Structure 1
Amino acid sequence: MKDIYYSGSFEQLWQEEAEIKTRVQNWLFCITFLVCNPLSSIAFFLSGDPFFYTLLPAHVLSGFVILGYMLLNYRKVISGQQMSFYTFLTLICIYAFLLSRPHLSYVQSCLNLTLAIIFAGLVVRWPLRYALLVSGLSMTLYPASIYFFSQTSLSVFFEQGGVFVMVAHFVFPFVIKLNYNKDKREFYFRYTLQQQNDALERQKTIAEQATRAKTDFLSMMSHEIRTPLNGIVGMVHLMMQEEEHAEKPNDLLKTLKFSADHLMAVVNDVLDFNKINSNHVVLDPQAFAPFEFFDILKKTFDPKANEKGIALAFSIDPGLPAQLVADRMRLSQVLTNLVHNAIKFTAKGSVTLDVREAARTPEAITLDFAVTDTGIGIPKSEQGGIFEIFTQVRARTHSDGVSGTGLGLAISRELMRLFNSEIHLESEEGMGARFSFRLSLPYSEQPLVPHQPVLATVAREMPDVRVLVADDNKTNLVLATQLLKRRNILHDTASNGLEAYEMFSRHRYDLVLMDLRMPVMDGFESTALIRELDPKVPIIALTASAFENEKERAMASGFSGYFIKPFIPQDFYNYIFPFLGIAVK
């Protein structure tokens, strides 16, 4: 039989199955020797062989021992296989003793011993180790007992049938192995068939649970990604408000804001990939300045390229119009995915983004985009699946040791489908890669009027209120407290739900901003306890989960509001002020 891998659970099931299946055979084996051994002594009595007077007491003694084994099995102290195995070992010792006693002839004894081993081979289903031990013990003790303790020559034993006894015991392990493996193979096929049936039966349940599991996963991912992102977005907006009064704008801060806003959009898209793939996403074309767009995009990747010591070049056609009309965020997402991958898989050399005009009409301009790198390349055999969801080609060879989600190229392909285009790949292993696509976009030669930012509201005195902020993420705590401080709102912080409850029980507050997922005690439990102290205090769920089922659970659990991270400062004020009795201006 070919080697088959059996898990621990299968081995346990097989042992239970073998025990049940061979229960009758094992009892039959023991009962047969219990009855037939004493009866076999009659032949010696009829032939007048004095050996009868040694044989009968020995078999009676072995019978009592066998009865003991059967009683132990009946009481489930030993298994059926062990019962038959111990029985045969006992008989071998008895047979060896009997062979050492004086015989007129060994013919009858050899016949009985041969029949005994043949009967065992037909009836029992032992593991191979049992059979090897039985045969080894028999082939050792039988000749040794005659050679050392009998007056008869060992050659007489072999001449009178001992050869057949030895051959039968030599063949016995092979017979046992064949029978045992045959039964095990049959059980394996039945077991795997049952597993397949069980798996098919579970498909209905799995299908019913798939949506819930997917929602739970995305909810967790949303929280884990949006929570730190909230700190980035919030801090950038605060810094931008301070920079609005500066004489010289900070280009680095502008780039950081662009990256934060872009990252927030990308996270939303990744977490809702199925929405993109199901044609539920509609592009939002808006006019933008292409040279500013590519300049900010390049500045986003310059630090990473410089860190790796590779050249990053953006070769943009100087004849591009002043305005292009497209979904800027979606186009940025595609180019970001391609440039990011190119940098990640390039250890030395360069990464280049080429944008060239291919054709122009009064209504639209056709542009060719290409991202080329000198990195590890992609083998021909793996290029067919490179755009599949959750696929990572040669992940083990990442030049920077960073692994991704395997979604970037899949999302890029789906977004290109929305642009009525497709991405093409040219690559050879070790020779880099080139991703390219073509877009036809409306345009205008009129310069784009820059958007004037709205100046932040000057901080003013607030009513005498106090706010408790509960969040285990220090960055989010800093952001929330900074926003409150800028409106001169008194506040305290807690790092988990239990601490929030204990602080509320001592001080009481006019508003509680409560994260939902926290260690020690989560926001749901903490809110339930606070509601016992004060059923009317406003408690706002300040969370990164944007799923309706989470919101419904929160509102049903006693929360007064549900505010989603990441957020910008003005939205934060607009949401919490009504709960504090402050007019929104």
Structure 2
Amino acid sequence: MGFNVQKSSYLKDIYHSESFEQLWQEETEIKTRIQNRLFCITFLVCNPLSAIAFYLSGDPFFYTLLPTHLLSDAIILGYMFLNHKKVISGQQMSFYTFATLVCFYAFLLSRPHLSYVQSCINLTLAVIFAGLVLRWPLRYGVVISVMALVLYPASIHFVSSTSLSDFVEQGAIFVMAAHVVFPFVVKLNYNKDRREFYFRYTLQQQNDALERQKTIAEQATRAKTDFLSMMSHEIRTPLNGIVGMVHLMMQEESGERPNDLLKTLKFSADHLMAVVNDVLDFNKINSNHVVLDPQPFNPFEFFDILKKTFDPKANEKGISLVFSVDPGLPVQLVADRLRLSQVITNLVHNAIKFTAKGSVTLDVKEVSRTPEAVTLDFAVTDTGIGIPKSEQPGIFEIFTQVRTRTHSDSLTGTGLGLAISRELMRLFNSEIHLESEEGKGSRFTFRLSVPYSMEPVKASQPRPAVVPEGMPEVRVLVADDNKTNLVLATQLLKRRNILHDTASNGQEAYKMFSRGRYDLVLMDLRMPIMDGFESTALIRQLDPVVPIIALTASAFENEKERAMASGFSGYFIKPFIPQDFYDYIFPFLGIAVK
């Protein structure tokens, strides 16, 4: 209630503020310009014409009426000229016109009449017309009505030879009544227009405020994206050194079993990499940087590969992992296989993680089929710890996890998996639903409608894997300002006896390339003095075909698109493991991957 009182007080302050009053005056001046001019022009024309009725009836009053109206017309024309020159406003013009007419009408009423009936009709019609056309403040209407109610009777009583009672009997009562009502009609119309303007004004203010808030939100989103992009680079760059060095050290370890300390370090590095990837993935989805890429795939092969991925973890925990896929599914589905896999992986991974005994089941069933699409129901069911009712509403929020009674390290994580899955489902125009009971497991379900075909997916012909007896004579230039990453990349190249040189910034890389050409350039994007984009543009002027791979910690799609549009031949994201590094760069060097 207190808020409503404050809001009402605030709106009232706006209604009576100087700025609002000034805007309202400007608005009403523009809005009533035509009405005010119409009012004046009507009397300019109609007043002299009204004299014709007296002429036709043989009333000698005609000879007084016509000159008087012509004189009043001259004065009205003067008011209109002043308004045209912006000396007076449109409201003032119509007010002065009506006030002048009241004075002239009072003078005419004091002149001898055969009958006041026609004059009273004309005066009543004038008031009615004014009430319909004019939009005045109340004070203007009161002044006109007081003038008429005082001057008309006074002119009859003190100047005319006609008694006041005769004037009233011949129609004055209607003139007086019209003038009594006139201020209220004017006030009603004026306030109505003022309220409408007030609502438009406050609505515009609210829209402006919302637009400002929208701009602030967009700027905050851009700032968040830029921050995460920068943090992506700053975190993933040293992480690349850690992950790569650990893999190299484990390869150099003598004996069949790697050192337990190295295994622990590798586990921690992999876990940290998963955390960073989850945070960046969620940010990309929320920043609309993720667009689904539907491609045809074989669903049976797809689910079989997924199951094999989780079999080791399920066997390690001693639980049953079942993938129940409807055998009647089409042999070809068209969807974003990567994103669908990501959703199912998150759900199955969580199910296995929170299930100590029993089973985890993925059910895929066909619900309906049209010539264009097939509708599938997905369900991931486990016999794990379940989710309390109180925690279910927020389970899909970021950084949210079920509070368990255990303190096992195996139940740690980012709390982003379900949030990412929900956002991905929205891209698929679907939603994830949860059914769970504490201590009795959980069931996550979602429904997808995807295009399909009864024709099997055409398998691409793999290139023959030919490994040359000796490595070809090639030279690689590695440009990176981070010494750890330079050491990692050069160590990987040394292990394959690939000749290489290093540069610590883009300018140095360009100078080295101009002195001696290379068969491949590994270029970091963000470097001091000259970044990878500018350096690549200069190298492309020397050699438009040499492969240049962006070796970067930025995982954002817009950065990749910018790089590919700037002349890069490939885009390889840090951190990476050695085998992935070889698999990626060898084709650019003409070395077949075995």
- TM-score normalised by structure 2 residue count: 0.48
- TM-score normalised by structure 1 residue count: 0.49
- Higher-Rg structure is 2
